[in-house]
Amino acid sequence: MKNIAVVGSQWGDEGKGKIVDWLSEQADVVVRFQGGHNAGHTLVIKGVTYKLRLLPSGIVRKNKISIIGNGVVVDPWALLDEIEEIRSKGVDVNVDNFIISEAANLILPFHIEMDEIREDIAGKGKIGTTRRGIGPAYEDKVGRRSIRVMDLRSENNLDQRLESVLDHHNAIRKGLRKNLVKKDKLKSELLKIAPKILQFSQPVWLKIDEFKKQNKKILFEGAQGILLDVDHGTYPYVTSSNTVASSAATGSGCGPNSINYVLGITKAYTTRVGAGPFPTELTDKVGELLGTRGKEFGTVTSRKRRCGWFDGVLVRQTIKISGIDGIALTKLDVLDELDEIKMCIEYELDGKKLDYLPAAVEDQLKIKPIYKTFPGWKTSTNGIKNMDLLPENAKKYIFAVEKFIGAKVSSVSTSPERDDTILVENPFNI
What's the start-to-end Cα distance of the chain, in Å? 10
- Taking every pair of Cα atoms in the chain, the longest distance, rounded to a whole number of angstroms, is 68
Cα 48 from Cα 3, distance rounded (Å): 28
- Nearest of 404, 393, 225 to residue 310 by alpha carbon: 404
Q: Assign 291 to helix, strand or coil.
A: helix
Tell me what pLDDT residue 301 has: 62
The string over 239-248, giving b where at least 16 C-beta atoms fall within 10 Å of a residue's C-beta and e elsewhere, is bbbbbbbbbb
Cα 77 from Cα 69, distance rounded (Å): 17
List the chain pLDDT tens, one digit each, 430 residues: 689 999 999 999 998 888 888 898 899 999 999 999 876 777 777 778 888 889 998 898 889 999 999 999 999 999 999 999 999 999 999 999 999 999 999 999 999 999 888 887 767 666 667 788 999 999 999 999 999 999 999 999 999 999 999 999 999 999 999 999 999 999 999 999 999 999 999 999 999 999 999 999 999 999 899 999 999 999 999 999 999 999 999 999 999 999 999 999 999 999 999 889 999 999 999 999 999 999 998 666 667 899 999 999 999 999 999 999 999 999 999 999 999 999 999 999 999 999 999 999 999 999 999 999 999 999 999 999 999 999 999 999 999 999 999 999 999 999 988 789 999 998 988 7
Tell me what pLDDT residue 74 has: 97
DSSP 161-208: HHHHHHHHHHHHHHHTT-PPPPHHHHHHHHHHHHHHHHTTEE-HHHHH
Question: CB–CB of 109/130 below 8 Å?
Answer: no
Tell me what pLDDT residue 300 has: 60
Cα 194 from Cα 403, distance rounded (Å): 52
Tell me what pLDDT residue 298 has: 66
Confirm whether pTM is higher than 0.85: yes
Q: What share of the chain is helix, strand, coil (3-state, %, to 5)?
A: 40, 20, 40
Length of the chain: 430
Our measurement of the distance from residue 272's CA atom to the centroid of its chain's CA atoms, rounded to an integer in Å, reads: 12
Question: CB–CB of 309/265 below 8 Å?
Answer: no
- Output the CA–CA distances (angstroms, integers) from residue 422 to 4, 381, 414, in the order listed: 19, 11, 8
DSSP 425: -
| Residues involved in catalysis | 13, 41
Tell me what pLDDT residue 82 has: 95
Tell me what pLDDT residue 297 has: 80
